[in-house]
Structure 1
Amino acid sequence: CSSGEAPDSQHAKSNRGSKVTEETVALVVFSIFLAAALIVIYRLCEFVCRCCNLFKDDPCYKCEEGWEQHGGKCYYFSINKSSWKQSRDECRAKGGDLVKIDSREEQTFLERRLKDVMNEAEDKFWIGLTDSAVEGRWVWADGSPLNERLQFWSRDEPDNWTGTDGEHPDGEDCVGMGEKGGAKDLKCWFDAFCSKPHRSICEKAAVKGQCVCV
């Protein structure tokens, strides 16, 4: 008994059926991957939206080129070496002043940062602290007194040294900081002759704006 169909015709039908099955499987697999991709994109967008809602009211801070931003302030680590007064004048010309250290966290940032920017052990930096008006009464450049709980003097400092032969009768009235190898408990302040050339740290408020999600 014969079906009446030629063998070649039966083979062609078999190939067409196999091809349709492969295309169906490929389409199903593609659909699964597409659905998975859409789910991932949706979750990512949802996460970004939550982050935007969380931080939309937080301020964003910006500093000018050459300044470093930290904690809402901008810092400039000078390359030039000059006296304390000249250093302060340079900072003020840039719209800031010699740095005033208001917290242990700020001292931590500066102490660690100086380890990176100091070229050698003697490469120290002026900060905005002085007792030039009244000996022993340390005040910041803005006139505010030094907080006794926020002092980071190196060992045996301040010592108000007057020089080998007493050539500086007024002693050491200006303060610098920096310890290339790192300072124990952040204590790296020292008093020095105000005329001594050092690098300096300038400080000014960062420009505040609103964060924008992109």
Structure 2
Amino acid sequence: MVCLPSTPYALVVKAKPTDTSLPHKFRVKVDEMFHDSAIVEIERLDSTSGWDWMSLTFQFTIYTSDNIGDDWYRPGNGYLYKLLPDKKTQRLARDACEELGGWLIIYGEINNTVRDKIRNQYDQLNANSKRYWIGLTDIDKEGEWIWDDWTPVASQQMRWKEGEPNDSNRKENCVVSEIQKGWFDMQCNLNGKKFYTLCERPDLKLKNN
């Protein structure tokens, strides 16, 4: 339980097994928020394995205000977007987004309409071979691609460029996206190369209208 001075504007929750070797995946929905607590619904996404008991790890992101400035792009899908300068590691990119109350792009990346709007908003992304980090990795288990909200990527969401993922030198566990071509698996820590950081966070003004 977290004590707050007032009921938060929004709450984002994700859950996964504490033992990351387990295959179980979950989606968490916030049903109701109170002054000092919240009711959440946990949906199991896998259906082929059981358990007697399981320890889960939760991560809570609590938003107490919708005052974030006017430099985020609002395409109308319930999320906001901001393009940040190039980062040479996925971790640096993710940390930069988390400092702004967000994460590397997930939901806008898998929505064709939103992705087109983002392309029109940020001319830099239209240039040839301009890529940006997205919130997708197979760090925990090779070949099992997981979004940063801890849910598995669905087949209909995939945008792999032909020949990808190729896991060059068995070191490519992160993903960058190129608007025109699709996804490329990439080393999470690069020497010399840098990619844009495209952050995503909830659109709290839209949520509370």
Q: Does the pair score TM above 0.5?
A: yes
Q: Gaps spanning 5+ residues in structure 1: where? A: 1-60, 163-169
Alignment of 1:192-211 (within 5 A): 192-196=186-190, 197-208=194-205
1:51-75 per-residue CA deviation (whole Å, 9 max, x = no partner) reads xxxxxxxxxx996322101112100
Q: Is the 8 A contact 1:140 1:146 kept in 2?
A: yes
Q: 2:74 matched to 1:69? A: yes
Of Structure 1 and Structure 2, the greater strand share is in 2
Look up the equivalent residue of 2:106 and give its one-letter code: K
Cα distance 1:62–1:107, how it changes in 2: closer, same or farther (>3 A)? farther
Q: Within 2, Cα distance between the matches of 1:104 and 1:64?
A: 26
Bigger proportion of residues as helix: 1
Secondary structure, aligned partner of 1:94: coil
Structure number with greater Rg is 1
**Could you state the TM-score of these two structures normalised by the residue count of structure 2?**
0.58
Could you say which residue in structure 2 is the equivalent of 1:109?
117
3-state SS of paired residue (2:74): strand
Q: Which of 126, 130, 139 in structure 1 is aligned with 2:137?
A: 130
Contact 1:63/1:74, CA 8 A, preserved across alignment: no
Note the C-alpha offset of 1:107.
3.7
- Are positions 1:189 and 2:186 aligned together? no
RCO higher in 1 or 2 (8 Å CA, sep ≥ 6)?
1
- Say which of 125, 137, 155 aligns to 2:162: 155
Q: Tell me the CA shift for residue 108 of structure 1.
A: 3.7
Quote the RMSD (CA, aligned, Å): 2.5
Q: How does 1:20-39 map to 2 (within 5 A)?
A: none
User: Normalising by structure 1, what TM-score?
Assistant: 0.57
* Distance in structure 2 (CA, Å) of the matches to 1:81 and 1:114: 20
Aligned length: 137
**Cα distance in 2 between the residues matched to 1:159 and 1:113:** 30
